[in-house]
Amino acid sequence: MNENKVKIGVLSDTHISGFDQNLKKNIDEHFSDVDLIFHAGDLVDLCVLDLFGDKDVRAVCGNMDNRRVKEE
C-alpha cells in the first residue's frame, strides 16, 4: 500500500449485544485490508469493538447506545 494513502472502512448500526459469528465473518471479509475503521453509532454493546481485533477503530455514539458505551 502506498504510504500516503489510508484505506478506511465505515459501518454503523450493528445493534449487537453479544458475540455474533456472522458479523465477525463479515468484518473479517470486508475489513481485512483497511487501515482505519469508523463505526458511526449504535454499537449497543462494547463487545462489538472486540470483533475488529487489533484494527484501529474510532466510534461515535448513536441514539441506541447506553451510558456504558457513551462513557468509553
Spatial contact of 2 and 31, defined as CB atoms under 8 Å apart? no
Residue 54 confidence (pLDDT):
92
Q: How confident is the model at residue 1 (pLDDT cuts 50, 70, 90)?
A: low
- Mean pLDDT along residues 57-72: 84
Instruction: Pull the grid cell for residue 53.
Output: 481485533
pTM above 0.95, yes or no: no
Q: Please compute, for residue 27, the number of CA atoms within 13 A of its CA located in the half-sphere on the CB side.
A: 22
| Distance (Å, whole) CA 64 – CA 72 | 15
What mean pLDDT, rounded, does the chain reach? Answer: 88
CB neighbour burial string for 48-60, b if at least 16 within 10 angstroms, e if fewer = bbebbeeeebebe
Which of the pair, 2 or 11, is modelled with greater confidence?
A: 11
Residue 18 confidence (pLDDT):
80
